[in-house]
Chain A
């Protein structure tokens, strides 16, 4: 009995110590990122507008690893039908390793996604995805590579596989960063994927980090280009599943970031993506605006 009491006291002590503010703040870096997206379709016969509101919460224990959980609510307003309302959930875990032989940081990451919506066909409802990724960042932070894989399960026996080999590198002493990611998507059902059984796309992104200026001056600027075709993609940077989209045929984005306060960053992005609804022979565009605020503590 006494021994149980002692064990309980020790356990309580450990838990209280672990979550007590000073120690917690020293070991865990937490951040919350609320984000909003608003977009309108141009030239689409069916779609009118899209909006999304979400929150990601992330915690990293020193440099050893971390977890992220996120939720967002998406609404796609249709022109001649009721809106699709969707709940998106993500849970992600990562572990960092620093093997001496590799001179850099190796990260093993696993994302899990769950998407539920009111799609009348049921085809895009109850979607689950599991996405492991292995990445490496050189010690000087100037070289990066990752290999991501995603297996997405859709209703009515559709299992989509995605491979995303990625490289990134810094230029001008790290003031510029280029990232190239290819999307190799296979396992598609042509009937449900614009007559495609597989797609290939390449995303290129350039980020420039500005020297400190006035408070209003942005700290980062990014330009993104996407070429090729992709459908049912899992974006492991945005941590989202494109279960509702038609065949994407490329696009471009421009983003700006501001360091608002010591641990607070604002990021805004505008972009246009071309889509094709092969069934209706309808090519259209989505013009989108996105903003998020990252608050760390």
Chain B
């Protein structure tokens, strides 16, 4: 009789814990869901607040999301802080390395953005977004020789992409390699007919 009572108490405890756990999981899911909905409607500050109480286990995801939302809000310094925190938690995070390039590029901190894009490429070589952000950072520094190299890598890995050819063309144009610039802009027009920058350059030359 005593053992039955004990077993009944245990079952009750397990059931309570299960309910609490399920409720908590559901609440967590609801927090994320709310945050995504608020982001869609442009309420970035509220979207950040919505994930204030997420579990410690989700700290990395939370930092990445905050970094993104602060970036959208225009709070670039806080965005950088969140992404750096995410990098600290996970050195292999391509997400965090790419994420931090966004506020850095917005603040025109070209060299810091370049450094992070290169760090992302070390983890994930030929990553399209990393190569693109690297190209933007190099263009900002007017480092045309390095931009040409990045553009060539982009073109090699993503031969159907017009943007890759645009960066290659711009680098060659600034390096005064007119024939190579025209060839790259022609490649842009094959992939993006009527591209204004390509058309203008070819007509001018």
**Chain B 104-125 interface residues, beta-carbon cutoff 8 Å to A:** 106-112, 115, 118
Task: Name the B residues within 8 Å of A105 (CB-CB).
Answer: 107-108
Task: Name the B residues within 8 Å of A99 (CB-CB).
Answer: 77
Contact A63 B176 (CB under 8 A): no
Instruction: Write the chain A residue with the least CB distance to B177.
Output: A212
Instruction: Write the chain A residue with the least CB distance to B75.
Output: A100
CA of A100 to CA of B110, assembled, Å: 17
* Number of A positions contacting B (CB below 8 A): 17
Among B108, B109, B143, B145, point to the contact of A141 (Cβ < 8 A).
B108
Contact B176 A212 (CB under 8 A): yes
Would you call B21 an interface residue if the criterion is a C-beta within 8 Å of the partner chain's C-beta atoms? no
Would you call B74 an interface residue if the criterion is a C-beta within 8 Å of the partner chain's C-beta atoms? yes
Contact A100 B76 (CB under 8 A): yes
**Chain B 141-175 interface residues, beta-carbon cutoff 8 Å to A:** 143, 145, 173-175
CA of A1 to CA of B185, assembled, Å: 66
* Number of B positions contacting A (CB below 8 A): 20
Contact B109 A98 (CB under 8 A): yes
- With A98-B77, A214-B176 as given contacts, are A62 and B108 in contact (CB-CB < 8 Å)? no
Among B75, B108, B115, B145, point to the contact of A27 (Cβ < 8 A).
B115
Per DSSP, chain B at the interface is helix
- With A98-B76, A99-B77 as given contacts, are A62 and B111 in contact (CB-CB < 8 Å)? yes
Among A27, A29, A63, A213, point to the contact of B109 (Cβ < 8 A).
A63
**Chain A 201-217 interface residues, beta-carbon cutoff 8 Å to B:** 212-215
Instruction: Digitize B7-38: 1 where CB-to-A-CB distance is under 8 Å, 0 elsewhere.
Output: 00000000000000000000000000000000
Would you call A139 an interface residue if the criterion is a C-beta within 8 Å of the partner chain's C-beta atoms? yes
CA of A64 to CA of B112, assembled, Å: 9
Among B76, B112, B118, B173, point to the contact of A212 (Cβ < 8 A).
B173
Instruction: Write the chain B residue with the least CB distance to A97.
Output: B77
Instruction: Write the chain A residue with the least CB distance to B175.
Output: A212
CA of A99 to CA of B80, assembled, Å: 12
Task: Name the A residues within 8 Å of B111 (CB-CB).
Answer: 29, 62-63
Task: Name the A residues within 8 Å of B173 (CB-CB).
Answer: 212
Task: Name the B residues within 8 Å of A139 (CB-CB).
Answer: 106-108
Would you call A4 an interface residue if the criterion is a C-beta within 8 Å of the partner chain's C-beta atoms? no
Task: Name the B residues within 8 Å of A63 (CB-CB).
Answer: 108-112
**Chain B 51-80 interface residues, beta-carbon cutoff 8 Å to A:** 74-78
Would you call A26 an interface residue if the criterion is a C-beta within 8 Å of the partner chain's C-beta atoms? yes
Contact B145 A262 (CB under 8 A): yes
A-B CB contact pairs (8 Å), 23 listed: A26-B115, A26-B118, A62-B109, A62-B111, A62-B112, A63-B110, A63-B112, A98-B76, A98-B77, A99-B77, A100-B75, A100-B76, A100-B78, A105-B108, A139-B106, A139-B107, A141-B108, A212-B173, A212-B174, A212-B175, A212-B176, A214-B176, A215-B176
Closest 7 pairs (CB-CB, A-B): A63-B109, A98-B107, A212-B176, A62-B112, A62-B111, A212-B174, A262-B145
Contact residues of A with B, CB < 8 Å?
A: 26-27, 29, 62-64, 98-100, 105, 139, 141, 212-215, 262
